[in-house]
Every structure is written in C-alpha cells, then in structure tokens.
Chains A and B, each alone.
Chain A
Amino acid sequence: MKAIAIRFFSATGMKWGIPFVKLFSGEEVLEQFKSIAQTILIPILAIALFLAAWSFGARQITTSLGQVPGPAMVWEQAQSLWQEHLVEKHKASEFYARQDARNAKKLSANPNAKTTDIKYTGKPTYIDQIFTSLKTVFMGFVIASLIALPIGVICGLSKTMMKAFNPLIQIFKPVSPLAWLPIVTMVVSAVYVTNDGIFPKSFIISAFTVSLCSLWATLINTALGVSSVHTDYINVAKVLQLSPLKKTFKVLLPATLPLIFTGLRISLSVGWMVLIACEMLAQNPGLGKFVWDEFQNGSSQSLARIMVAVFTIGIIGFILDRIMVELQKKVSFEKLAV
C-alpha cells in the first residue's frame, strides 16, 4: 500500500506527497516533518507572498477597463467561467431533449416522417475552448513530429544531408509564428477550399503554424542523437553486418530515443507557447481567441478573465511538460550500462 502510494506520487510529479505517506506509516517522524517543511511550506509561503504583492500592486494601477484585477477578482471570474460552462451545457442538453421529444412525437404519428437533427449552436464555453486548444496543439505537434523525425534521422546518418539542411534549419528556426501565420493562411486558403471539411480552416492554419515553429527542436535533437550514437553500438551493427533498415530500427533509434524525447518535449512546449498567438490571429476558437475576444470586449471583467486564461495556459503547459518527462523516463535506458 505504502509502496503503491509512493510510486503514484513520484510518477505524477507530486513528490511532496511522499513524506506524508511515510509520516502516516510512522517512518522517521522528525525527518518527514523537515521534508514537508522544505517541499510544501516554502512553496506555499512563496505563493502567498506573490499573491500579496500582486494584490497590492494591482490596486496601484487603474486602466481604461477599471482597476487591474487582484487575485480575488481573478478567482471570481474563474468561478463565473465555470458557471457559464455549466449553464451552457444545461441549455444544450435541454435543446437536445426538446429535439428528441419532437422527433419521437413525429415518428409515433407517422413512422416514415423525416426527423430533424439540428446541432446545438451555442457559443463555445471556456472549457470547450481549452479542449479546442489542446486538439490544435496536438495536431500541430503530430505534424511537426512526422516531418522532423525522418529528416532528423537522415541528417544524422549523412553528413552531406546535414550540411544541406543546416542553413535552412538555422534560418527558419528563430522565425516568429506571427510571421508564418499570414503565409500559412494564404496557402491553406488556396489549397483547402472546401468550407465544410472535417476541420475548420482556422484550426488547420493554427495547427500548421504551430508545427512550423515547433518542429526544429525535434529535428535538431534527432539529428544530433543519431550522429552521436556510441561507437560500440555502431561496431556491433558493423560486425553483425546489419542491413541499413535494421541498423536504424534496432540500434540507432533505440540509442537516440532519450535525445529524441528531449526534442519532442521542447517542441511541445514551444508549440503550446506559440499556439496562443496563432489562435488570436487565425480566430481558431481556442484559448488564444478567448484572450483576444476578451481584450476586444473591454468590459470591467475582461482583464480578470484574461488573467484566468494566463493561469490556465501556464498550468496546462506544465502538465504537458510533466507528461513528456514521464514518457521520456519510460523509454530511456541507463546510459552507463553499455
């Protein structure tokens, strides 16, 4: 039981839970209190100090949208966003219930009657927007990985390819998503002409811009990893005369996986950071559009609502990073164990 609880806490990145588990099982009580003070008390104190400074600082500045919101106002808005979500969901379910009742009535009168099947078109709630953002960043991340991994392997295998790709990588790597967006918008509009495809245009534009900005980290890490595989492993492949394909999948890629995952992790965090800007301009109904709409809306709650978005973005980014770290731990072998 104790071991399971400890494993759970360390896997989820909540190491602060471990001393509590140990404390309840009566293991070195004084030691556990010290550990709790260090891992929990100090962060809590720091957060409390931050909230106090924020609260105090916010009161000093008044903008055209009213006072800069303090922690209390932001919390209020977070709750109201959640309430709005619940209300909207309730409305939707009522709408569908009414529609179903209508259809049932029609069918009972005439089994061959045409039923209407209309989708509820309320405005997306904050929670919907979070999921749209996650979908977009995931799509962009997958596209980026599909492009970056094969090119990275090829660059790592051949010095000529590396030399060929290197200038392009160096030039395109630092380009801001805001510069890519107009180009991607025009290209997607020209190529993706249907208006009722599986994905809305704004979704595709945002996803592609995200992948354009995030693929570089994976590409560089994969190339570096493949080109620096330990000579011992290469020698094994040589002595066994493995075919190039087998060499890649049995020796090079497993040896490179830890570095590839470091690249993927950077890519995902860059993608998430870039996504907000993309959504703002492409009007993809995610968190970026939410921030933009609130900014344009200019009500007295707008700033507080944007602040809620800031915290949401931060926390989700943190969770995504933790997920990648855990995945990376799963695939990494012990480096020392040759």
Chain B
Amino acid sequence: MRRASLAATAAALLIGLAGCGGSSPVATTPTPVENTQQLVVDLGPNLNGQSVGFDNSLYTNVNICLPATTTCQTIDHVLVDTGSTGLRILSSQLSLTLPHVADASNNQIGNCIQYADTSYQWGPVAKVDVHLAGELASSIPMQIVGPSNFPAAPAACSAGGVAAQSVSSLGANGILGIGLFRQDCGAACASSSPPAVYFTCPSSGCTPTTVALTAQLQNPVWMFPQDNNGFAITLPQVGSGGATTVTGSITFGIGTQTNNALNGAQAQAASPKGNFTTTFNGVAYPNSFIASGLGAYYFLDSATTGLPNCAPGDAAGYYCPPSPVNLTAITSGPNPSSSGTTVSQNVAFSVWNALTLIDSRNPAFSNIGGPNPGIFAWGLPFFYNRTVFIGIEGQTTPAGTGPYWAY
C-alpha cells in the first residue's frame, strides 16, 4: 500500500515536470498524504499451512523500519485493537534487529500488557518507524513480544494468566493498539507509584519503574505529522450467518482531508480511564467501552439479558439463544465540544446462537455475544455496517477534543 502511494506520487511528479516544460519552479499546493489503509477480517495468519486466526479478528499490514532508514519489513495479520495503545510485534515474526530502549542506569525496559481474560504480552521496548498508508510515525517506542533473549515475565505482569506471545496463541502476528489515548499507560506510569506496566530489568530481576510519557508505547496515529487527531474505521454489513472475508478500511485524521469528515457522526466522550455509559432496560452501566480487539459483544449476564449461556465446548463463554434476538441499548457520554451536555445514541444489535455461528466455520459474525457481568464491552461486531471515529486524547477535532467515540 505504501509502495503504491509512493508510485502514484512519483507519477504525479513526472506529469508535473512535463507540464512545467523546464521553466522556473512554480508554487504548488502540497499533495495530501495518502491516509487510508485496507483492513480485513479473515481466517488469520498462516502457520505451517494452517490459518490460525480466531473469530472476528480485524487485521492490517504494518510496515516497520529501523528508525530513519529504508531497512524495512511488512508484518501481515497485525490485529487492529482500538481498546489498547501501542504497537506490539511478536518476536518470532521480526526480521529487523530493532534498537532496545534502556533507562538511565543502562538497564533494558520491559513492557507489560494484560487483558481481562488474563492473557498478557511481555517484552522489551524498542524504537521503530511505523508506516501506515502514506503516514509515518518516526522512531516511536513499541513492544517486542516474548523474545527469548529477555528476562521472563515478572509475576506482577503474568499475574497468574496465560502468555499470548505466539502466532497460535494470539491468532495474529502482533497488535496495532490505536485507541483513545496517546500512550499505553499515561500519567500513572510517569508518577512515583507506577502500576506494573513498565519494568527496569537489571540482572537481579525486573521491577516496576517510572517511565516518562515520551518513552512509553505511543499510539502511532498521534505521532503522524498530519492527520493525527484521530481516525475512522469503516466496515461493511455482515449477514446473519457470518462472512468468509470482510474488507474495510481505516482512514487517518478527522476532518483533515476531504475523505474523513464526521458527516453527522455523534461524538461521545470517554472517561479518563476509557469508559462511557451504556444503558439497557433502564439501567446504566458506566464502565462500558468499545474495543475492536474483542471478538464479540460481551455484555451483562444471562439473568439480566434472558439470553441462555452456551453449553461447555466450542461455544463456551458465549450466548446461545435458539433464534436471533434483537436488542437495543443506549450509549452516552459528555459532548466533547460542549461542557455540561450529554450525547446519547440508540444502538440496535442482534445476538444469535454462537454454536451455530462457530460451526459455520466463517470467521466474521455481526451477531455473536457473551456474558460480561455489569458492563457492555462492544467488540468487533459493533464496527460492522458502521463508520466509527475515535478522537485521541488532547487532540483537537471538529467534534471537540478527544478522547471520544463518534458514530
């Protein structure tokens, strides 16, 4: 994709030169940067001839380079996750030798991310150039996941969970975390009582450490020189029986080019921790959120929704109603451009029998759900048949300042 846009630019230059006929330079309007990149939901990365992806995984290609060089590598099937921040590439998939980051005592810095299912990724922080569409995030910190030449995950990171550090356990070659925030951890990790996210790793072992904002894993989007206030993900409709492949796009910037206007999308601000309110049957659930890295609608419980849980087996952890059930919830959050007002939107969605869906062997489903007591976690199904904008914290957009979701 990057190569294609470079070729187009070169062609435009050649045409321009021909038109000038060798006369003195003429001032020109800068050509807008290519800001759209393809996304896909498919069967996932290939491992020994087998596709090893998990259901409803949204992937893209990420071109990474040694900082300020043209020594590059394209990683396919990187999971696009709006629920986390930072680029994480499995060590096993890296051919580049990226420069690791060290602290003032010359100890390597380890980074940890945990997920609600208690899986985690652990590994050193390294600097990298990240190319997405025609955009470039220069020399930003990322995580190399699970290299063998690095200390094992400390207990404060693994926390009794399971490592998702191989292609088969992650179902992807890495994670592109492009969420609401500028950094993965933010001010908490720059404070004197940091949570167990960054570790300094002398030979005596890795312990939690304070890391300045600029040295933390960065959301690549806000590091772009332009189109850096947010982005939009657009995916088509997926029928009730699922789809074998879904192709969509991510467009960088909000209201910065002709192709990324909000077009009436309603912005709802997220809290400093990345949540907003979802109301269902008159009850408000304030710790709700949207995350493209989740494979289903994970919400409430069987008693509250009336949806039966699936039996143990292929569909364990999902809902299994005998026929499709149509539901409506209301999402709401403060208006990012007008203090004191709240923006609310109805969200209609459908949940069908997860066992039937999974047995179809399709990878993409718009109507798969599972329990998550006390909250709504709107996973990838929410993104089908929609354009979802994400405004990044502290960044100015036509709908106000992020963090927000708009749709």
A, B bound: no
